[in-house]
Amino acid sequence: MRERLVSPTLISSEEEVFHRTLRPPTLAEYIGQTKVVEKLQIALEAARRRGEPLEHALFYGPPGLGKTTLAYIIANVMGSKITTTSGPALERTGDLMGILTNLGEGDVLFIDEIHRLPANIEEFLYPAMEDFKVDFVVDKGMFAKTINVPLKRFTLVGATTRAGSLSAPLRNRFGLFYHLEFYRVDELQEIILRSARILQARIDEPGSAEIARRARGTPRIANRLLRRVRDFAEVKARGDITAEIARNALQLEGVDELGLDDLDRRFLSTIIQTYHGGPVGVEALSATLNEEVDTLVDMVEPYLLQQGFVSRTKAGRRANESAYRLLNLPVPARGAPTLFD
């Protein structure tokens, strides 16, 4: 898959290290997601007063909004260790067994992409979440025996971009559910100013606002754009990030005023020009654009849907009037026939 500057997912392990240095350590420093922060703050304080681990928590929403950051904050506030893994990385019960038995009292186990856990791992996890014990089978056939292994009381924090893909038995074992939404421009601007202070980058209010408008409501993208603009400013403007410098830097990177890149515009253009505005199925768009279906569904569509450029119908994707105006194309008259009418 191509590396997109406006992709909400991490594009390299080096970038993951970079973002880790920008993570706020406490909820007081966490910007945005006001309702989630308030509810989580109450749950954490209640657990601390009772001297108990936090209930198992599930964070769901688009990628890049801070689910991992909140897991680290939970561990920090509870004064416990955090162990991180992901659904696809757990293939055998032995992999999970090793992790669970090494957890201490009150420790946090963070599983990213938890909706991608294999069925056998998910079932192995149920008694660990409910009763803090697991049944481990050793040997095979007539020599097989089950060993009951007690676990320390821990907190499982799951993160997913597809809450609907979680099985009901797994979903019901979480006591806390938090939905993360896209950020407002003013919240992203505050995040950019905070990150700039940590990076010792000189940026003014108009410069941070220019970056925030292009960040697609996602802190991870905002920090990535800031990094690119900082490099541009160091070479072209002695390190000073102004609105003009931010515009020039992001124009060079192919990111327009709305945060759309070449793939976004091709997506809209294909619906309008190739499929007469739609409706068209995502599989047909995938074949025409030579992009994977998951890329379009998870990384292109969410922002375009949020901005109202496209609509999902039972028959497929349809371009809205704003998409025609964005591409400077004539808007068809209402009731005009489409390719599939």
- From the candidates 69, 155, 160, 161, which is the catalytic residue? 161
Number of alpha carbons in the 13 Å side-chain half-sphere of residue 99:
26
Task: List the structure tokens of 85.
Answer: 């893994």
The values of phi and psi at residue 74, to 5°, are: -55, -50
Rounded to whole angstroms, what are the CA distances from 318 to 99, 170, 274, 311?
A: 46, 35, 12, 5
Do residues 206 and 243 lie in contact, with contact meaning Cβ atoms separated by under 8 Å?
yes
- From the candidates 4, 69, 107, 112, which is the catalytic residue? 112
- From the candidates 4, 67, 224, 230, which is the catalytic residue? 67
Any catalytic annotation for residue 218?
no
Which DSSP symbol is given to 171?
Answer: H
The values of phi and psi at residue 322, to 5°, are: -60, -30
Rounded distance between C-alpha atoms, residue 300 and residue 291, angstroms: 11
Any catalytic annotation for residue 68?
yes
Rounded distance between C-alpha atoms, residue 35 and residue 32, angstroms: 9
Q: 219-236 and 185-199 helices cross at what angle (nearest 10)?
A: 50
Residue type, 266: R
Any catalytic annotation for residue 112?
yes
Which DSSP symbol is given to 187?
Answer: H
Any catalytic annotation for residue 220?
yes
Rounded distance between C-alpha atoms, residue 80 and residue 77, angstroms: 8
Q: Which of 218, 166, 174, 169 is nearest to 192 (CA)?
A: 218
The values of phi and psi at residue 319, to 5°, are: -80, 135
163's CB contacts (< 8 A; 6+ apart) are: 58, 60, 115, 171, 179
Please tell me the total number of residues recorded for the chain in this structure: 341
Q: 34-50 and 67-78 helices cross at what angle (nearest 10)?
A: 30
Any catalytic annotation for residue 21?
no
Active-site residues, by number, are 67-68, 112, 161, 220
